[in-house]
Structure 1
Amino acid sequence: MRTRITTMLGIDHPIVQAGMSWASSSAALPAAVSNAGGLGVLAAGPLRPDDFEHVLGQLATATGRPYAVNIPLYRPGAADILDAMHARRVPVVIASQGSPKAHLARFRGIGAIWIQVVATLEHACKAADAGVDALVVVGAEAGGHPPASEVTTLVTVRRVLQEVSVPVIAGGGVADGWGIAALLALGADAVQLGTRFLLTEEATVHANYKAAVLAADVQDTALVGRRDLPIRGLRNAFARAVFDAERDQLPQEDYVALFKKSTLKQAALDGDVEWGKVELGQSAGLVSRIEPAAAVMARLVSELAQVTDRLRAMAG
């Protein structure tokens, strides 16, 4: 299947593995996805500069296919990570949580493609106007940082596509080929999957984290931290404490301190799935097993072909 994104990135399938801190902060998962014809994404968010350069070298060795690096622009030390990405001539940058304006010219100079992650129409238009090559647009079903408005993926993506002309990679609520087909039919040029790739053998998170995500059904997540930078996470002890703080109208300073006391690292690296931030999308309820990323990719491609054939038959 050829789209503007597959052509731009040089990948075989319109499938992008989301950059997920800790889960894809080693070479294993992004290399496996890229080698299977999708776009694997190394998550630089939790990595120190020296560790990042080491892992990036491993990834470049592990795959000869296109890959990307996800960088939250607000993170401490982002400038050092960006310098390393530039020096290593990373082919695709996927940036979030910050403006791309200050960086585009420099990365264009090495031929890199810049993709910006957004969750609202306002941010999508700003990024497109700044000159990014493409957008990742996520809706409320997504893990990580979905729109605080909780507008769904179907509506968010379609609204953005009404206003921008750059290619869109859509994400949120997708775990199989049927979901991929739905977002391609909506007008997207590729689809990003996070939770589905979190539940792979190559994802480098604690076994407790994977078990908690695997056990979750579609109703077991919630938008947590509405008064700070909300996440979609598991309804665990941490989430209940935040909900109680909102109900009791805890002063903002205390609320932020409570929200920041728990971390993703606490869950993903240390295995504390009660008080850590267990970030996951609603699509966890659509996944029933942990398996190799290559097997996931093969099934996604097969399912997408099945849906395409079905639609073609329906059209006569």
Structure 2
Amino acid sequence: MANKITKLFNIKYPIVQAGMVWNSGWRLASAASNSGILGLIGAGSMYPEVLREHIQKCKKATDKPFGVNVPMLYPNIQEIMDIIVDEGVKIVFTSAGNPKTWTSWLQERGIIVVHVVSSVKFALKAQEAGVDAVVAEGFEAGGHNGRDETTTLTLIPIVKEQLKIPLIAAGGIATGRAMLATMILGADGVQVGSRFVASAESSANQAFKQVVVDAKEGDTQLTLKELAPVRLIKNKFYQDVQELYAKAASVDELKALLGRGRAKKGMFEGDLVEGELEIGQVAALIHDIKPVAEIVDDIMKEFEEAKKQVANL
């Protein structure tokens, strides 16, 4: 299946495995790449030398293209970028920051740059900054959420209307039907996150994976907009956040509750009570934990079947 995205990344299918904090280590990224899609290591939960180790292990585990997702709000960003260049990574997805800061620097070193956005305004800023492609992520997603709560169904055609570079859809995509739907709306490919959390190769704690599988409609909620909007499973920590909101808490009070390591505690260590459990709305459609290769196969089979059904409408 050749198109703009498969050609840009030199992959078989126009699917990107999202680089999620505490979920996307070298095992997930290499398994994704070996399955014909683009695997991403999530640098957001890694110290620089830990990232280096994951990149090196990923290179040994796959001879296919893979990349690194880098949230740009971290203080050691220069060290992270230097490691990416040193280790010969050729694809970087940036998020949570100004794409002008790093795009040219990375491209001058032979690296393809993709930026994650949540609105047409920021998609156009990313295009102006010279990125090679944009990921537009709707309100349904677990992370990288926008404060405007624009859904994927609405966001993709709005962005497509004005964007000239390749567009990757994200947010609420875990099936072949959703992949086809967003591509009909104008996307050139998709980024899938939550479905790969519930994979055998994800670095998420098994207890968190099971919570994702057990999630039903309405079990998640977008919150913490004053800090960085995320969609959370409604556990005790989430309820504590809501109680602070009910008291008209300040940003400092929210930061104090969040503290340090809350996401690690929940998703990586499996504290389902006090941990931050980030996942997309589409968790309600995820019913099992499978190897990445099977997930990709399921998505592509459903995608092809859905194309035939659409043709017969």
TM-score by length of 1: 0.96
Counterpart of 2:162 in structure 1 is 163
Q: Does 1:292 align with 2:280?
A: no
Give ranges in structure 2 of 5+ residues lacking alignment.
Answer: none
CA contact (8 A) 1:89 1:110 kept: no
Most deviating of 104-113 and 47-56: 104-113
Counterpart of 1:216 in structure 2 is 215
Counterpart of 2:3 in structure 1 is 3
Cα distance in 2 for partners of 1:148, 1:232 equals 12
Q: 1:262 to 1:218 in 2, by over 3 A?
A: farther
Give ranges in structure 1 of 5+ residues lacking alignment.
Answer: none
Counterpart of 1:22 in structure 2 is 22
CA contact (8 A) 2:204 2:267 kept: yes
1:204-253 deviation line (CA, Å, top 9, x unaligned) = 11111111111111211001213322210101111111111112212332
Q: Does 1:54 align with 2:59?
A: no
What letter matches 1:23 in structure 2? Answer: N
RMSD: 1.3
CA contact (8 A) 1:170 1:191 kept: yes
Pairwise CA distance, 1:274: 1.6
Most deviating of 254-263 and 216-225: 254-263
CA contact (8 A) 1:15 1:38 kept: yes
1:72-119 deviation line (CA, Å, top 9, x unaligned) = 111121110100111222111001011222322332223211000111
- Secondary structure class of the residue paired with 1:211: helix
- Secondary structure class of the residue paired with 1:170: strand
Pairwise CA distance, 1:48: 1.5
CA contact (8 A) 2:200 2:289 kept: yes
Cα distance in 2 for partners of 1:103, 1:87 equals 16
- Secondary structure class of the residue paired with 1:56: helix
1:120-173 deviation line (CA, Å, top 9, x unaligned) = 222111111111000011001001131122111111121111121111110111
The 5 A counterparts of 1:88-103 are 88-103=87-102
- Secondary structure class of the residue paired with 1:71: strand
Counterpart of 1:71 in structure 2 is 70
Counterpart of 1:268 in structure 2 is 267
- Secondary structure class of the residue paired with 2:99: coil
Pairwise CA distance, 1:28: 0.8
What letter matches 1:227 in structure 2? Answer: E
Pairwise CA distance, 1:261: 5.5
What letter matches 2:301 in structure 1? Answer: S
1:249-275 deviation line (CA, Å, top 9, x unaligned) = 123322332234662101122211121
Cα distance in 2 for partners of 1:193, 1:77 equals 27
1:17-44 deviation line (CA, Å, top 9, x unaligned) = 11111211x2111111111111111111
What letter matches 2:13 in structure 1? Answer: H
The structure 1 segments of at least 4 consecutive aligned residues displaced by more than 6 Å after TM superposition are none
Cα distance in 1 for partners of 2:38, 2:208 equals 24
Cα distance in 1 for partners of 2:239, 2:116 equals 28
How many residues were matched structurally?
313
The 5 A counterparts of 1:74-223 are 74-223=73-222
- Secondary structure class of the residue paired with 1:136: strand
Cα distance in 2 for partners of 1:250, 1:93 equals 37
